[in-house]
Amino acid sequence: MEAHQERRKRVAFVLIDGLGDISIPKLGGKTPLQAANIPSLDAIASAGINGLMDPVEVGLGCGSDTAHLSLLGYDPRVYYRGRGAFESMGAGLAMSPGDIAFKSNFATLDEKSGTVVSRRADRHFEEEGPILCAALDGMKLPSFPEYEVRVRYATEHRCGVVVKGPKLSGNISGTDPLKDNRLLLEAKALDNTEEAHHTAKVINELSREISRILVSHPVNAKRVAEGKNIANVVLLRGCGIRIEVPPFQKKHCLRPCMVAPTKIIAGLGLSLGIDILEAPGATGDYRTLLTSKAIAIANALSAPSNKCPNVFVPGEDEHKPGRSDGYDFGFLHIKAIDDAGHDKATLFKVRGLEAVDKAILQLGKLLWKVESESSGMFEYFLCVTGDHSTPVEYGDHSFETVPFTICRLRDFVGAVGGENALLKTSLDPFPLPTVADSGEDMAGEEGNSVRRQVEAFGGDSVSEFNEIAAARGCLGRFPGGEMMGVIKKFLELNV
């Protein structure tokens, strides 16, 4: 390496959505992380430093959007303006200042009683959702023809809805009752401004017009004939405007990219100036191909200065070239573990964590090949944490802390048995296990009986990645707003 050439430090940041959990009787009093066989995650913990993190603050059960803002260094109390803009931008809808947007569900409404009998018309809506969204996109409101309505399919039963026009306010409530068998709500102003009251009228007409179009659509006629739930309403919630914040790169002096098929996370990343990379087969749900995500992040972090992958641009059919000077911070988002928590799928959460562990080993191999062949040009770091807990006993987000760990890649290599062992790792793609594959019962299992016992290389005495072990870490317990500072300080101290 030439004397004037500075070594580039690059971080592979893996965010496991819904990572945290509680002790579960079915797992012998262990958390899913404790019960899972996760030698790669254990190796990162053993090779680096650890702690317990409150994603936003102690005792707060937060959403993924507010948690991600906090973790990336943006105080949600200051910057959060509703999740609708994140979902819609991630779905591919461009937004300008003054536009409002909603995180939306295709749902089933009993038209006689006005009751939402099912908040999601169908979990698997991949074929019909885009068709219905196309029918709604560009619709006109009879009483408010000056407003433009854009609708784009997201994932599963979800879509993004954007309204463009004059004097709109994001300070209104939504139409989603948030639970089944409750009355469809009317949007209401949340302040006394003329804009908020006017916007509520616009959105209530939008809700009625959407239902009118959906009821007569051939897709729904077919669903009714097949005995399926009709998708005759779109629930509008999380009204938000596009936030204007300092870009991530300017704030942290790290050039960022992200693999996040989950639309709300992709939209949040776009709002922060983070490039969104495509990963074939990455779906943001149980069907996702984790290997594809690992390859996409490894390629982005190993790209020479002017050969970055193409990135996603909302509202455009074409992709644009990645940053000309490469990426320093690769954010890999994994959603399926959170889904397991929401679905109360205890054994799937355990097996899903084991699949994530396998993908992290693949990521480590890909990055190590680049670092070892770069003549000192690159040095990589692995960092893993979660955005919140989603305990399977609760089926929803909760306030428990999540474990955090970070290490140098070279120390990780030693912790997994050395370079020869790492390079034997297969890079063949693999699916997440199905719930059926997870087995029927783990009661009485040791769970960790085959866990790799790894040598501690670095910062503290922790040798396992889970909620209990992380409490012994040298970082102690810290709020998520400090996470980027911890990462940057770790990079600074490792010279």
Task: Check if the beta carbon of residue 47 is closer than 8 Å to that of residue 414.
Answer: yes
Distance (Å, whole) CA 10 – CA 378: 7
Q: What is the pLDDT of residues 232-259, one digit of tens each?
A: 999 999 898 887 889 999 999 999 999 9
> Side chain identity at 400, as an amino acid letter?
E
Cα-flanking dihedrals φ and ψ of residue 227, to 5°?
80, 20
b (16+ CB within 10 A) / e for 160-170: bbbbbbeebbb
CATH says 8-80+247-493 is which class? Answer: alpha beta
Distance (Å, whole) CA 434 – CA 284: 15
Side-by-side strand order, sheet with 275-277: 311-312, 275-277, 256-259, 329-334, 8-16, 378-385, 402-408, 49-54, 477-479
Distance (Å, whole) CA 46 – CA 48: 6
Alpha helices in 111-193 (DSSP H): 128-136
Task: Check if the beta carbon of residue 88 is closer than 8 Å to that of residue 101.
Answer: yes
Residue among 453, 474, 82 at smallest CA distance from 239? 82
95: tokens are 């937004």
Q: What is the reported pLDDT for 87?
A: 79
> Side chain identity at 319, as an amino acid letter?
H
Coil, strand or helix: which one is 237?
Answer: strand
Strand partners, 11: 329, 381
DSSP state at residue 324: T
Task: Check if the beta carbon of residue 400 is closer than 8 Å to that of residue 370.
Answer: no
Q: What is the reported pLDDT for 208?
A: 97
Q: What pTM value is reported for the model?
A: 0.82
Q: What is the reported pLDDT for 124?
A: 81
Task: Check if the beta carbon of residue 235 is closer than 8 Å to that of residue 107.
Answer: yes
Distance (Å, whole) CA 411 – CA 427: 21
Coil, strand or helix: which one is 276?
Answer: strand
Domain with CATH 3.40.720.10 in the chain: 8-80+247-493
Q: What is the reported pLDDT for 313?
A: 57
Half-sphere exposure of 148 (CA within 13 A, CB side): 10
Alpha helices in 319-439 (DSSP H): 336-342, 346-373, 409-415, 419-423
Distance (Å, whole) CA 379 – CA 375: 10
Half-sphere exposure of 22 (CA within 13 A, CB side): 14
Residue 478 has a CB neighbour count (10 Å cut-off) of: 16
Cα-flanking dihedrals φ and ψ of residue 141, to 5°?
-100, 120
Using CA of residue 15, residue 17, residue 22, residue 28, what is the dihedral sign? negative
Distance (Å, whole) CA 377 – CA 113: 66
165: tokens are 């026009």
Distance (Å, whole) CA 292 – CA 353: 17
Distance (Å, whole) CA 288 – CA 293: 9
Distance (Å, whole) CA 377 – CA 305: 11
For the chain, which residues score pLDDT lower than 50?
1-4, 305-307, 317-318, 324, 437, 440-457
Distance (Å, whole) CA 339 – CA 357: 17
Q: What is the reported pLDDT for 310?
A: 57
Using CA of residue 162, residue 168, residue 169, residue 173, what is the dihedral sign? negative
Q: What is the reported pLDDT for 133?
A: 96
Coil, strand or helix: which one is 268?
Answer: helix
Distance (Å, whole) CA 101 – CA 460: 45
Q: What is the pLDDT of residues 431-454, one digit of tens each?
A: 888 755 455 444 444 333 323 333
3-state helix vs strand vs coil in the chain, percent to 5: 35, 20, 45
